[in-house]
Amino acid sequence: MAPTLTMGQTEQFVERGYLSGLEVFSSSEMDGLRSGYGALCALLEAGEDPGAIREWHMASRWLYDVCTAPILLDLVEGVLGPDFYMWGSQFFAKSPRSSSTVAWHQDGYYWPLAPLHESVTAWLAFEDVDEGNGAMQVIPGSHRSGLLQHRKHVSESVLSLELEDGTFSAGDAVSLNLAAGQASLHHDGIVHGSAANTSERPRVGLTIRFSRADVRCDLGQAPQFRAYPVRGQDHGNNPVGEIPVVPFARLSPEMHIRSLDEDGYAQEGPSK
């Protein structure tokens, strides 16, 4: 039987807003996943970094299959319930000695989804990740405070916005250290971010976004949005994406769900 969350894990997610150290792929399976990641990187154009591999699950069957691996869906079902869809994916990679950071933020602030707080992100480690190479950090329980005020970022963050000073305590942060093949799950309202990679090791992770079937996207803000029902019943709230057939293919840039996290939407703030 595929592993599922225990009652204690489900309760922890409700109370603290995250889970970490979840076993998804074995070390031998990760060898194949790294090879597939390399095949996708080979499709990048000059000047692009792996962060450009976003929503490529719409074009690459290999990536779609990674994002919808049954063992991963079993874990997500433990926090979202029986009816949900997958809609987003993106690689986040930090090369050794990279100064790139991800500012403290809440995912739900960027997303034109309603209702909020019915979505979860899986962060799948392709390499071991810890404090040394820029692991994601979360503020436990911060998802219970609702959406907090964000501002234009003033750091080397890859995001356009960051949380206002004084809206949370960074001293409460917990680092989500993962071995390659493990995943974490985090609530769309939890405060999180990551520091620079000060090590000689790469940091590579794949984020995969899931929402309950009753969550609707504002297509006026994100016309490229496509839902991929992966468990239970589809509620018909969003256009359904076509499952790709080509193993490795890049998505055309105009199909990236850019309006979810670019200034034109984020400065307005999310729909409440």
- Annotate 66-135 with DSSP letters as a single string: HHT-HHHHHHHHHHH-S-EEEEEEEEEEE-TT---BEEEE-HHHH--EESSS-EEEEEEESS-B-GGGT-
- What is the predicted pLDDT for the residue at 30? 97
What is the per-residue pLDDT across 215-246, written as a single tens digit (0 to 9) for each?
Answer: 999 999 999 999 999 999 999 999 999 999 99
- What is the predicted pLDDT for the residue at 263? 45
Measured between alpha carbons, how far is 117 from 123 in angstroms, rounded to an integer? Answer: 17
Question: Looking up tokens 């959406």, which residue turns up?
Answer: 147
Cβ atoms 179, 70 nearer than 8 A: no
Measured between alpha carbons, how far is 12 from 138 in angstroms, rounded to an integer? Answer: 14
- What is the predicted pLDDT for the residue at 258? 64
Question: Looking up tokens 């080397």, which residue turns up?
Answer: 156
Which of the residues in the chain have pLDDT under 70? 1-3, 153-162, 164, 258-272
- What is the predicted pLDDT for the residue at 189? 95
- What is the predicted pLDDT for the residue at 101? 86
- List Cα–Cα distances, 247 to 58, 178, 190, 227, 272, in angstroms: 11, 27, 34, 20, 39
- Residue closest to 55 by CA, chosen among 85, 88, 86: 88
What the block records as the tokens of 52 is: 């450009």
Measured between alpha carbons, how far is 45 from 226 in angstroms, rounded to an integer? Answer: 24
Number of C-beta neighbours around residue 141 at 10 A: 14
The partner residues of 152 in beta bridges, in order of sequence, read 161
Residue 8 sits at φ, ψ, to 5 deg, of -65, -40
What the block records as the tokens of 127 is: 């390499």
Written as one letter, the residue type at 248 is: F
Cβ atoms 61, 245 nearer than 8 A: yes
- What is the predicted pLDDT for the residue at 226? 97
- What is the predicted pLDDT for the residue at 154? 56
Measured between alpha carbons, how far is 155 from 13 in angstroms, rounded to an integer? Answer: 30
- What is the predicted pLDDT for the residue at 159? 63
Rounded (10°) CA dihedral 122, 237, 118, 21:
-20
List, in order of start, the domains of the chain with CATH numbers: 7-266 (2.60.120.620)
